[in-house]
Structure 1
Amino acid sequence: MGITDKDVLYEDNHYIAINKRAGDIVQVDNTGDTSMEEMVAAYLAQKYNKPNGAFIGVIHRLDRPVSGMILFAKTSKGLDRMNRLFHDRKVSKTYFAVVRNRPPKQADTLKNWLLRDRKKMITKAYDREVKGGSIAQLDYEVLGELEGYYLLKVTPLTGRTHQIRCQLAYMGCPIVGDNKYGYPRGSLRRTICLHSRSLVFIHPIKDEKMKLIAALPTDGFWEKFNKLI
């Protein structure tokens, strides 16, 4: 399944933002499945009639089971400048997460040291500094409760692998469907209820403030939470 016009949230000469479907991979991995990088390149090549292919640069990544906002570069200039913004933490990212357990506070900042277990491909959280670990921080806010589920707005202040999934689980609130991090059962579609909602940054070429927002998935579950946002 490729990229269509309805998947595109924003496009200019240097960037294209896509509302990623949960289950799509951003870059090629050992599954051999078609990646978003390939799908977006094919979309641009067809749209602009480029028989030799279109340039596409991966700026940041989302885990395969996660949906929502992801930004790609269409030029090397755009890629270099946006990479610098991400590196300097000048891009504000917001996520929505659905959990089953009530969080201990209405809003809080979580601070943990995260250690990656590369054999099991999971991240472990600790309350204290650990050898080889990296500090991780995020803010969360409970937006509301619906049918026994809680919708959280999550703003990561650092960018660690599986950070949101790991830190929420360590708090006692694993994300719905994320059995890798302690939710009792996985989704049949191999997706989790974590959605990349928005990116806010100063366009590094146009020098304009940008706020890109991705609508919630229409999968029969996420839609009900639109009333809470």
Structure 2
Amino acid sequence: MNISILYEDNHVLVVEKPVNIPVQADSSGDLDLLTLLKQDLKKRYNKPGNVFLGLVHRLDRPVGGAMVFAKTSKAASRLSDLMRRQEITRHYLAVVRGTPIKKKTQLEHYLLKDTKKNKVSVVSSQQNKAKKAVLEYKVFEKKKNMALLAVKLHTGRPHQIRVQLSSVGLPLYGDQKYGSLVNQSGQQLALWARYLEFKHPVKDTVIKVHSAPPEQHPWTLWTETATTI
């Protein structure tokens, strides 16, 4: 699989995750991104034995875009700490069904994951094991009862963007799990990890990377906007 490298040095690897590939091995048994990248590093650098590559964050299987990995244990520890402190900036592009009322807003919910069904629900803050989820979004343009949003995550909960937007009547295009009433089977989920920014775990520099969504529907409705945000 041809995976685009957005940034790489001795400590950090940032790639463009393809859609419909798991980040790490799961029950599907399908080849995962982490394994593919380890194989690539082993081959490119002729490394003997096992290759270290640390997983810093995750993207849902149907989501593509910018994703950072750690190539050393020191980088893994420091990047994970940045993630815990919410000091890794993550911006997404999302195409939603419906018409947002507000041009820009922040959403706060409490989410609970059903691990057996692999589905997340919005629940009361008093619910046992519920976790607070916060994001903000900005509307760029509306077309054909859909809208292009820029989304910034403040927390990193499973399925967070998909669940929170669906809960306010804005299910993502192509999301059968949280928008089955308005989406059809076979449609590709329109959520893309557009931008990553973080302090380098070793050097005194800041890493900034962009990843453009694919040139296919519904992204092509906003080709120019989606590649300049």
Q: What TM-score results when the alignment is normalised by the length of structure 2?
A: 0.92
Query: How many angstroms apart in 2 are the aligned matches of 1:222 and 1:78?
Result: 34
1:30 aligns with 2:27: yes
- State which of 132, 141, 150 in structure 1 corresponds to 2:129: 132
1:119 aligns with 2:116: yes
Contact 1:21/1:217 (<8 A) preserved: no
What's the CA shift for 1:96?
Answer: 0.6
Deviation larger for 201-210 or 143-152: 143-152
Query: How many angstroms apart in 2 are the aligned matches of 1:156 and 1:126?
Result: 19
- State which of 183, 189, 211 in structure 2 corresponds to 1:185: 183
Deviation larger for 57-66 or 126-135: 126-135
1:164 aligns with 2:161: yes
Query: How many angstroms apart in 1 are the aligned matches of 2:213 and 2:148?
Result: 12
- Tell me the equivalent position of 2:79: 82
Pairing of 1:38-53 with structure 2 (within 5 A): 38-53=35-50
Query: How many angstroms apart in 2 are the aligned matches of 1:24 and 1:118?
Result: 19
Query: How many angstroms apart in 2 are the aligned matches of 1:134 and 1:113?
Result: 5
- Tell me the equivalent position of 1:206: 203
- State which of 102, 107, 111 in structure 2 corresponds to 1:105: 102
Deviation larger for 213-222 or 199-208: 213-222
What's the CA shift for 1:53?
Answer: 4.2
Query: How many angstroms apart in 2 are the aligned matches of 1:146 and 1:17?
Result: 32
The one-letter code matched in structure 2 to 1:130 is Q
- Tell me the equivalent position of 1:58: 55
Deviation larger for 43-52 or 195-204: 43-52
Query: How many angstroms apart in 1 are the aligned matches of 2:112 and 2:103?
Result: 27
The runs of 5 or more residues in structure 2 that have no matched partner are none
* Residues 66/82 of structure 1: CA separation in 2 closer, same or farther (3 Å cut): same
Contact 1:100/1:150 (<8 A) preserved: yes
Alpha-carbon displacement from aligned partner over 1:10-48 (angstroms, at most 9, x marks no partner): 111111111111101100001111110011111111111
* Cα RMSD, aligned residues only: 1.7
Q: Number of residues paired by the alignment?
A: 225
Query: How many angstroms apart in 1 are the aligned matches of 2:185 and 2:53?
Result: 31
Query: How many angstroms apart in 1 are the aligned matches of 2:125 and 2:99?
Result: 24
- Tell me the equivalent position of 2:15: 18
Identity of paired residues, percent? 38
* Residues 220/112 of structure 1: CA separation in 2 closer, same or farther (3 Å cut): closer
Contact 1:101/1:150 (<8 A) preserved: yes
Deviation larger for 72-81 or 124-133: 124-133
1:194 aligns with 2:179: no
Contact 1:14/1:74 (<8 A) preserved: yes
- SS at structure 1 position matched to 2:177: helix
Contact 1:67/1:217 (<8 A) preserved: no
Deviation larger for 135-144 or 177-186: 177-186
The one-letter code matched in structure 1 to 2:142 is E
Query: How many angstroms apart in 1 are the aligned matches of 2:143 and 2:158?
Result: 29
